[in-house]
């Protein structure tokens, strides 16, 4: 099966320079609907779904094939190859931010810039490293997910989304979780929350922007700061937005951060390494 069919790839926009948007855990390409219109005039927009989510073809899924985040990075590279994409601007949310980092390490010539929204190289605290979770809390989260996925989805989605004053956002995320293939979602959660890609960060050569929310229970601000310290040629932007999904809860702020990054000259990038919005 070709990657375009497998990953339900959609191409739109009136520009020629490609921007490839990768959704986070339990989501699909619809989660970018408030962000991509701002770029359609000037860029070629590529949207897709990870296998097991959205409209992707789950029949190709096996745990042997999708045993690590690197496996999902290979899917992205296959999409780029089939569409003959070059100098791609990659925009990845949550776990897909790290998947994009891995893809750019494997084939750096494919990418010109990376935009990493709420990334985390490791979710578990380890010595002086603060990932936001203890091993025990991750084990409890995964056990809860394994035992009752639907209840986990309805319980955790509002926590992940944040913004309790706008409960419809948490409800949308919960519904997205519930539409996912349950077995794939369970496997992907384990791969995601047990991943440790800290040692990979130094190998990234592509220029990157880290977008961090001011409060985020999944990827706390200290994680964004860690990423910025360890990713060569990176910038860090801290949004006023809270929660883990600013592409839904604060699209205008997210768009502004991305646009500023894309429009900067090299001289400005050298001067401005960390910004606040």
Query: What residues act catalytically?
Result: 94, 216, 244
Contact 145, 120 (CB under 8 A): no
Using only the alpha carbons of the chain, give its radius of gyration: 17
**C-alpha torsion angle, residues 68, 69, 74, 76 (rounded to 10):** 150
| CA dist list (Å): 194 to 146, 248, 265 | 15, 26, 37
Within 54-202, strands assigned E span 88-93, 111-117
Tell me how far apart the alpha carbons of residues 65 and 74 are, in angstroms, rounded to a whole number: 10
Neighbour tally for 5: CB within 10 Å: 12
- Name the strands in the sheet holding 234-242, side by side, starting at the edge strand that comes first in the sequence: 10-12, 43-47, 17-22, 88-93, 111-117, 207-215, 234-242, 274-276
Alpha-carbon separation of residue 150 from 40, 167, 183 (angstroms): 35, 18, 12
The residues, any chain, with a CB within 8 Å of residue 169's CB and separated by 6 or more, are 161, 163, 243, 245, 248, 249
3-state DSSP assignment of residue 160: helix
Give the span between the Cα atoms of 148 and 51, in whole angstroms.
21
């Amino acid at each position: 099966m070709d990657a375009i069919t497998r990953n339900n790839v959609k191409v739109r926009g009136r520009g020629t320079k490609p921007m490839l948007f990768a959704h986070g855990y339990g989501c699909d390409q619809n989660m970018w609907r408030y962000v991509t219109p701002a770029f359609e005039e000037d860029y070629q927009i590529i949207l897709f779904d990870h296998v097991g989510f959205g409209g992707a073809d789950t029949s190709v899924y096996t745990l042997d094939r999708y045993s690590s985040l690197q496996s999902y990075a290979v899917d992205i590279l296959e999409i780029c190859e089939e569409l003959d994409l070059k100098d791609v601007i990659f925009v990845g949310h949550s776990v897909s931010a790290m998947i994009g980092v891995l893809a750019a390490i494997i084939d750096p010539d494919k990418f010109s810039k990376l935009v990493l929204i709420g990334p985390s190289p490791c979710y578990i605290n380890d010595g002086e490293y603060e990932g936001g979770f203890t091993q025990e809390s991750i084990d409890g989260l995964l056990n809860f997910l394994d035992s009752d996925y639907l209840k986990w989805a309805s319980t955790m989605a509002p926590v992940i989304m944040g913004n309790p004053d706008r409960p419809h956002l948490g409800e949308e995320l919960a519904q997205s979780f519930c539409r996912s293939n349950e077995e794939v979602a369970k496997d992907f959660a384990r791969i995601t929350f047990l991943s440790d890609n800290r040692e990979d960060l130094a190998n990234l050569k592509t220029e990157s922007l880290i977008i961090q929310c001011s409060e985020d229970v999944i990827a706390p601000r200290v994680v964004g700061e860690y990423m910025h310290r360890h990713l060569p040629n990176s910038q860090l932007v801290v949004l006023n937005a809270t929660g883990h999904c600013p592409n839904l809860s604060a699209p205008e702020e997210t768009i502004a951060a991305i646009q500023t990054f894309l429009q900067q000259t090299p001289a400005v990038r050298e001067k401005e390494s960390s910004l606040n919005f």
